[in-house]
Amino acid sequence: MLKKIGWIMIICMLTLVLWPSFITAPQLLSVFKLTEEPDVIVRGTSGSALTLDISFGDSALENWIADLEAPYPLLLVDTAWAKRFPDSSELIRKKNIPVALLGKKGAVYEEDSTLLTKQLEEFTILFEKRPLWFRTSDEVFPKLLQESLWKHEINALGSTLRWKGGKLPSHKKGEILTIALERKGKTTLDDIDRLLDSREFHSVEDVLFATNVKTKKIPE
């Protein structure tokens, strides 16, 4: 009888210790086919999400990533940049920062039908997982590219607004805001911090799953 009571007490103590972790641990959601056919997601209907297009950056960006705290923005990374700065890529992976694939301009994928597959292979090697999201650098998604992403079970992600610094954008429900760090761009890391401080940001999944998903139609 005493042994039975002892086991019950141990189970109760373990439950009290472990239960909070079950409640607070973030859930990693693997989602695909948020739309019924190949399309480009540009907005949810609740909250705000921030995405960063990264094709340029050096040690300053690496330090910024090192200091970045959760909740993290979604980083869309050009594989050419990731290969040039492996330490930054490794930091993203170790911190478990949400990361996705940033491609070239949309028209390039019409000229080279094998490019997407090559980039997916590079991304998988760099980050040890396949991307859930993909965006072209100019947010142009030709129909053939959309269909290819659909076959690879990857979501095409656009944005509600591409912010280039200056006056902070007004808040819109379900917005997906994008800042591009590129060679000829004028947006700085300070601009990103200023935007991060301007409102509460959520993951892209939270913004989309809160209710309906909005898309934009791409002309055929």
Cβ(150)–Cβ(170) below 8 Å: no
Task: Please write the tens of the pLDDT for every residue from 78-88.
Answer: 999 999 999 99
Phi then psi for residue 155, to 5 deg, are -85, 135
Running DSSP on this structure, what letter comes out for residue 218?
A: P
Running DSSP on this structure, what letter comes out for residue 80?
A: H
* Structure confidence at residue 10 as a pLDDT band (50, 70, 90): very low
* Angstrom distance (rounded) from CA 13 to CA 196: 40
Token pair 């923005």: residue: 73
Q: Which two tokens stand for residue 56?
A: 């340029």
* Angstrom distance (rounded) from CA 74 to CA 132: 11
Stated pTM of the model: 0.80
Question: Is the confidence at residue 1, as pLDDT, over 90?
Answer: no
Give me the pLDDT at residue 88, please: 96
Output 172 or 35, whichever has higher pLDDT: 172
Domains of the chain: 31-216 (3.20.20.370)
Give me the pLDDT at residue 184, please: 82
3-state secondary structure of 197: helix
Q: Which two tokens stand for residue 207?
A: 């913004």
Task: Please write the tens of the pLDDT for every residue from 27-51.
Answer: 333 455 555 667 899 998 899 999 9
Mean pLDDT of 109-135: 96
Over the chain, what is the mean pLDDT?
84
Give me the pLDDT at residue 170, please: 94
3-class SS letters over 168-188: CCCCCCCEEEEEEECCCCCCC
Running DSSP on this structure, what letter comes out for residue 7?
A: H
